[in-house]
Chains A and B, each alone.
Chain A
Amino acid sequence: MIKLLRILGGRALSLFKKMGHMLMFLLNSIYYICVPPFKFRLLLKQIRFFGNKSMIVILLTGSFTGMVMALQIYHTLSKFGSEALLGPAVALSLIRELGPVLSALMVTGRAGSALTAEIGIMRISEQIDALVSMALNPMRYLIVPNIVAAIIVFPLLAAIFDVIGIYGGYVIAVKLLGLSEGTYFSQIDTFVEWKDVRIGLYKSISFGVIVSWISCYKGYFTEETGFGAEGVSRATTDAVVMSSVLILIWDYFLGSVLL
C-alpha cells in the first residue's frame, strides 16, 4: 500500500515538475518577447513558414467542412422547417468553434510537427549549443519568432478557414439544396455579431500560443524524450498529440468562460 502511494506520489511529483518546467519555458519566452532587440527578419521567415506550410490544407479542409456542415445542418433544420437559418448556423459554428479549432489542428499537423523536428535536430547537432557559445540567446533566435508568428498567423488562417467554409456551405446550400442566394447571406448578416468574431479571434490567438509553445518546447528539450533521431521523432509525435489535446481542452474551457 505504502509502496503504491510512493509510486503514485513520485509520478505526481515528476508530472508537476515537468509542468513547471514547461511553464517556465513559456514565461521565459514571454520575457524575451517583451525585451528588445527583436529579430524581425526571423519573424517574417517564421510567418512564411507557418502560412506556406498550412495554406493548402486549410483551404481544403475549410471548404469541405463548410460543405459537410451545410448538408448536415440543412437536414436537421428542414425537420423544423427553418431552412432559412442555414447560413447563420454554418457561419456561427465556423466562426466561434470549428474555424479556430480545425485550422489550429491542421497547422499542428503540418507546421507544428515540422517545427519540433527542426528545433530537435538543431539541438542534437549542437546548433543550439553553437548559438549559446556565441553569446546569442537561443530563446530570442529560435523560440520567440515562432511564438509571435503563430500569434499572427493562427487568426489569419482561422479567418481564411471561416470564409472558405462559409462559401463551401453556400455552394451546397444554393447550388445543391436550392436555397435562395439572398437568404443564405442576409441571414448571416443579421445573426453573426462582432462578439462571435471576437470569441473566434481569442481562441485562435491562444491556440497559436499553445501550438508554438508545445512544439518549441518539445524540440528544444528533445533529449528529455529520448536520444538522437529517435528522440526527435518521439518528441515530434508527442508535440502533435499534446498540442491537439490541449487545443480541445482549452477550447472547451474558453468556450464555457467566454460564452
Chain B
Amino acid sequence: MIEIIGLEKSFNGQKVLSGINLRIEHGEIMAIIGRSGGGKSVLLKNIIGILKPDKGSIIIDGVDITKLRGREMDKTRQKLGVLFQGGALFDSMTAYENVAFPLKEKMKVSKKTLQEKVSKALEDVGLKGMEDKYPSEMSGGMRKRVALARTLITEPQIVLFDEPTTGLDPILLQSTHKLIRCTHETYGFTGIVISHEIPEIFDISDKVAFLYKGVIEEIGTPDEIRKSSNPMVRQFLTGSSEGPVELLCEKETRR
C-alpha cells in the first residue's frame, strides 16, 4: 500500500506539487492523468526517493520513505519496479543485456532460467529478434518496450509506470495495456500508471486520479471519472480548449 500525505515540492521557488494526498491500496492500479508539465513525473520521482519532498510524507507498506536515507531506502526499493518516461536504458548495453541486468544483479538465477526469462520478456513486448540491438539503434517505441520488459522482469511488488505507451502506435498501445493487465493478473502488483491515453487507460486501471495545479483535483473509479461533473475533469476528458483549464497561450497573452 502506498499513502501520500500532504506532499509538496517546488523547484527554485516554483511550486510544482502543493499538497498531494493519495492512497493506493494493495494490488490496485492507480492511473494518474493531468496536464503536461503538471508534475506527474516529479510525483513519481518522489515516490522512488530520487527527489526529496519539501513537505509531507510518503508511506510505502508502513514505512515513511521520506525519512529514510540511502541504504535504508534500498530495502523499500527492492520491491519497486520503475519505468522512466525516457526509458533510461543503459546505452552501453544491448536490449538483451538491459533486460537481463536487474535480474542478474538482484536475484540469483541460473544462466538457463535467465536466458529463458529474458527471451520471454522480450517476446512479450514484441521485440523477438532484437536482442542484440543497442538503444541508439532502436526507435523510441522500441526503447520504451525494452524498458517495460526490464521493469517487469523482476516481478516487483510495486510498479510505477511513467507513460508506458506514449509514442506507440494504437495496436502496440492496446497490446502494452494488455501486457500490463495480464502481468497484474498473474502476480498482482500494486501499480501507478501515469498516462495521457484517455480513455484507453480507464480499461486497465482500478482508480483514476486527476492531478491539476499541484493537487489531486479529482479521484475515483474510471466510471466515476467519466461521469464526473467537475468542469475541469470534463474539459480534460473531452480535450476541449474551452473551459476552466488554463491554456498556454492565454497565459502568454496575459503576460
Contact = CB atoms under 8 A, between A and B. Distances in A.
Contacts of B91: 121-122, 125, 127
B74 A135 contact: yes
Interface stretch (B52-60, B75-83, B110-118): B75-83
A127 B105 contact: no
Contacts of B45: 129
Nearest to A141: B105
Contacts of B80: 133, 135
A20 to B, nearest CB: 18
Interface string A130-160: 1011111100000000000000000000000
Interface string A101-120: 00000000000000000000
A181 interface: no
B141 interface: no
B70 to A, nearest CB: 8
B88 A129 contact: yes
B148 to A, nearest CB: 13
A133 B50 contact: yes
Interface in B61-119: 74-75, 77-78, 80, 82, 84, 86, 88-91, 101-102, 105-106
B37 to A, nearest CB: 16
Interface size classification for chain A: 10 to 19
A132 B105 contact: no
Interface size classification for chain B: 20 to 34
A246 B117 CA distance: 48
A189 interface: no
A230 interface: no
Contacts of A122: 90-91
Contact of B77 (A125, A126, A133): A133
Contact of A132 (B50, B89, B102): B50
A130 B77 CA distance: 11
A126 B86 contact: yes
Contacts of A134: 77, 82, 101-102, 105-106
B225 interface: no
A130 B106 contact: no
Nearest to A129: B50
A138 to B, nearest CB: 11
Given A132-B77, A133-B50, A135-B74, A125 B88 contact: yes
A211 B101 CA distance: 29
B142 interface: no
A126 B86 CA distance: 8
B43 to A, nearest CB: 14
Contacts of B89: 127, 130
A136 B90 CA distance: 14
A127 B50 CA distance: 12
A122 B90 CA distance: 8
A244 B48 CA distance: 38
Nearest to A45: B92
A222 to B, nearest CB: 15
22 contacts: A122-B90, A125-B86, A125-B88, A126-B88, A129-B45, A129-B84, A129-B88, A130-B88, A130-B90, A132-B49, A132-B50, A132-B77, A133-B77, A133-B80, A133-B82, A134-B77, A134-B105, A135-B78, A135-B106, A136-B102, A136-B106, A137-B74
Return the 8 tightest CB-CB contacts between A and B, nearest first: A135-B77, A130-B88, A126-B88, A133-B82, A135-B74, A135-B78, A134-B102, A133-B48
Given A126-B88, A136-B102, 15 more contacts: A122-B91, A125-B91, A126-B84, A126-B86, A129-B48, A129-B84, A129-B88, A132-B48, A132-B49, A132-B50, A133-B77, A133-B82, A135-B75, A135-B78, A135-B106
Interface of A: 121-122, 125-127, 129-130, 132-137
